[in-house]
Amino acid sequence: MSENNIERISGRAPDELRNVSIKAGVIKNADGSALIEFGKNKIIAAVFGPKEVHPKHMMVSNRAIIKCRYHMMPFSTDTRKRPNLSRREIEISKVIREAVQPAILMENYPRTAIEIYVEILQSDGGSRCAAINAASTALADAGINMRDLVAACAAGKVNGQVVLDVDDQEDKTGEADMPIAMLPNKDLITLFQLDGNLSKEEFDRALELAKIGCNKLYNLQKDALSEKYFNENNKKEDEE
């Protein structure tokens, strides 16, 4: 695979991620929050709760429920996006919810709701993966009991080549896009979508690449949390 690589539009190597930076605790009013910059994506995730469930009939007596909203700002795309939730946003909200749900120890919070708000400030390809990374960091920042962090990354096929982390341009010209979310320590996949066609070999390679990408993102999430909680220099700045 490594021989005769086809140049990617962005000039990245086939197994190279875009530049990613994550910062935890960016919003004061939320219980937990995170900002992720994933290539050109700029995404803020905020977590509230556990708190009382409204409307009350949605309450479940032996566990928490999770509410998730993925929303794109009107200025996040090239042409203005209408601010109401589109079909696509509703789908992604559901997908994010189901991707983070297996990580949360919901039985620890009976009769409560955990709310996740994801706002896309600027969008590029792969925003659902970036959003899952941000949401999981924000959940940990909120102090919610979790089995593991959730890391997400996409792989795909562009110009006949299997590549990691498909961006917007590649997504439009490429043959396949496969976003994956997983619990890295347990090696469990919580989100799996595949848009396009892949042969068996290509699929295996794409899955392998995506898992490597997820592990990199997992480490970035850990770094972001350590930066906020365990870094002494940081603490001193906060005091001032």
Partner 1 sequence: MKTNSIERKYVVPGDVVIEGDHNPIANVIKEGNKIISTKIGMAEIAYNGVKVIPLNGTYVPRTDDVVIGKVVEMNGFAWEVDINSWFFGILTGSAVFGRGFSSSKDSMQSQFKKGDCLVAKILSFDRTRDPLMSVSGPGLGKITEGEITHITSSKIPRVIGKKGAMIKLIEEHTNCHLTIGQNGAILLKGTEDGRLKAKSAIELIGNNAHLSDLNDRVISLISK
Site residues for partner 1 per CB under 8 A = 31-32, 49-52, 61-62, 103, 105, 109-112, 140-149, 183-185, 222, 225-226, 229-230, 232, 235, 238-239
Q: How many CB atoms lie within 10 A of CB 221?
A: 24
**C-beta of residue 181 within 8 angstroms of C-beta of residue 174:** no
DSSP 159: T
Least gap, CB of 213 to partner 1 (angstroms) = 17
Cβ closest to partner 1, residue 69 vs residue 111? 111
146 or 164, CB closer to partner 1? 146
Which residue number, 90 or 105, has a Cβ lying nearer to partner 1? Answer: 105
- Answer for the pair 65, 113: CB distance below 8 angstroms, yes or no: yes
Residue 99 CB, nearest approach to partner 1 (Å): 15
Q: How far is the CB of 229 from partner 1 (least distance, A)?
A: 5
Query: Which residues, other chains included, contact 78 with Cβ-Cβ below 8 Å and sequence gap of 6+?
Result: none
Q: Specify the 3-state DSSP secondary structure of 192.
A: strand
Nearest distance, CB of residue 165 and partner 1, angstroms: 22
Query: CB of residue 127 vs partner 1: minimum separation in angstroms?
Result: 24
Measured from the CB atom, the residue of 31 and 165 that comes closer to partner 1 is 31
> Which is nearer to partner 1, 137 or 161 (by Cβ)?
137
From the list 53, 52, 35, the residue with the least C-alpha distance to 44 is 35
User: CB of 130 within 8 A of CB of 38?
Assistant: yes
Degrees, nearest 5: CA angle 165-169-125? 50
Q: What is the DSSP letter of 103?
A: G
